[in-house]
Each structure stands twice: as C-alpha cells, then as structure tokens.
C-alpha cells in the first residue's frame, strides 16, 4: 500500500468576531489514506464535512494538527506549506471538485476543460480533442462546446466543471457533493470516471448527497456527526 495522506489531530473552528466566541467545525480528527482508497465523509448538516475538505485543500488553515501529503517531491504538511507550493500541488497532484464552476469571461467550455492538460504540457490540439471527449461523456451538447459557460444552466456548468476537474488524473481528489444538480447521464459518467481514477491509484475523499451512487467504490466511512464513534473505530461501517 502506498500512503498518500496522513491527517493527525486536525482541529478547525471559526472565530465569530461579532459574537465574541469560537465555533468548532471539527476537533482532533486523525486518519490516513492510501493510493486508490475511497473514503466517504458523512455526518449531519453542519458536522464539518465541507470544512474538512477545504482544510485539506488548504482553503482554510486549521487551529492545530497536521495534513501530511506524500507529494512527488516528498512529504509536505499542507497545513504549513508555503502558498506557492500549495498552488503548484493544486495544479499537479491535488484536485477538488465542488458543485460550482468558476467560469471565466470569454473562455469557452472546451478551452476551460482543456486547460489542465495544456498546463501539463499537452499540445493545444490534443488537449482540445480530449476536452471534447469529456464534454461529450458528461452530456454537454456539442453546440455549447465553443460557448461561454457563464450563460450555461446550473447543471451544464456543473458538467463542464466535472470534465475540467477530472480530465487529468491526480494523486488526491477531494469531492464536495459533485452529483448535486446532475442528470442521470452525467451521474453515470462521473461514477465511471471515479472508478477509473480509483483503479489508476487516485485516493479520494468525498461527500455525497446520494452515497448509493458510489457505494461500490467506498472503502471506508468517517462520520463527522458530533459524538459519532472515533474514526479509528469507523472502518467498514456500512453507509
């Protein structure tokens, strides 16, 4: 087994300045993740699922604890790494799929999806061909490929978002309710792609509104509901 992530004693809260107090999002979380493992995060609303994903991705800084990631350059604590290293890792080794697309003015859907491949060194033409293949797989109509996603429907934007986020296999993939607002075709394409990525060694941590979609991929479940059993005791818990 190849270790990808080792989270040790991670604690995150939000300081509510206007209330003069601190709200705990999660407290003293520890678990590790191997290559090709799929970990489902579950828990009641507000249990801290999205906050944990964002803390691993370093959108948030934790109060304490470590997020040890085995990068191609060696072990790095994502909780303490320099911003420039985080930016590089996000481009090369760590992906984050949310239900929201960050569309950019006057950038076509196909260019947006092709971008990660181009940044990884593929030729513009090859990257575009591959981008179109993924747009088709997620059910984006060919008429829309050269259009700007800023005007797309919520579901169409989400499909472009998925195609872009999943086009390039990464070592660690964080998924925050990626199936929200997707139709059946896109959900099936997403699940097929996640299975492919898992088989190729991508480690994944995901929050899913309908975990049944990915039930066959799940290796472990962590329940962030306050007072739920500790992560170490949660292995092989049914969804």
Binding site for ligand ATP (CB under 6 A): 14, 23, 25, 43, 45-51
Rounded to the nearest whole angstrom, what is the least distance from the CB of residue 14 to ligand ATP in the complex? 3
Pick the closer one to ligand ATP by CB: 23 or 119.
Answer: 23
Pick the closer one to ligand ATP by CB: 47 or 114.
Answer: 47
Rounded to the nearest whole angstrom, what is the least distance from the CB of residue 97 to ligand ATP in the complex? 15
Pick the closer one to ligand ATP by CB: 51 or 71.
Answer: 51
Rounded to the nearest whole angstrom, what is the least distance from the CB of residue 176 to ligand ATP in the complex? 8
Helix (H) or strand (E) holding 27: strand 21-34
3-state secondary structure of 195: helix
Pick the closer one to ligand ATP by CB: 127 or 224.
Answer: 224
Rounded to the nearest whole angstrom, what is the least distance from the CB of residue 50 to ligand ATP in the complex? 3
From the CA atom positions of the chain, what is the Rg in Å?
A: 18
């Amino acid at each position: 087994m190849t270790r990808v992530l080792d989270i040790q004693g991670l604690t995150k809260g939000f300081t509510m300045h206007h209330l003069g107090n601190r709200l705990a999002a999660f407290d003293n979380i520890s678990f590790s993740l191997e290559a090709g493992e799929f970990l489902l995060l579950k828990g009641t609303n507000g249990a801290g699922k999205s906050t944990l994903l964002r803390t691993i991705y370093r959108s948030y800084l934790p109060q304490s604890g470590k997020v040890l990631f085995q990068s191609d350059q060696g072990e790095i604590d994502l909780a303490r790494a320099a911003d420039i290293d985080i930016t590089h890792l996000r481009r090369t080794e760590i992906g984050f799929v949310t239900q929201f697309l960050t569309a950019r003015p006057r950038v076509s859907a196909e260019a947006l999806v092709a971008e990660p491949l181009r940044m990884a060194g593929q030729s513009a033409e090859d990257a575009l061909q591959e981008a179109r293949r993924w747009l088709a797989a997620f059910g984006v109509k060919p008429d829309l490929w050269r259009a700007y996603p800023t005007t797309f429907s919520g579901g169409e934007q989400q499909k472009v978002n998925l195609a872009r986020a999943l086009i390039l296999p990464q070592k660690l993939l964080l998924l925050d309710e990626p199936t929200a607002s997707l139709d059946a075709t896109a959900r099936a394409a997403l699940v097929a792609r996640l299975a492919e990525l898992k088989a190729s060694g991508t480690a994944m941590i995901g929050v899913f509104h309908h975990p049944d979609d990915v039930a066959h991929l799940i290796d472990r479940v962590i329940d962030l509901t306050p007072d739920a059993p500790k992560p170490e005791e949660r292995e092989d818990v049914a969804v």
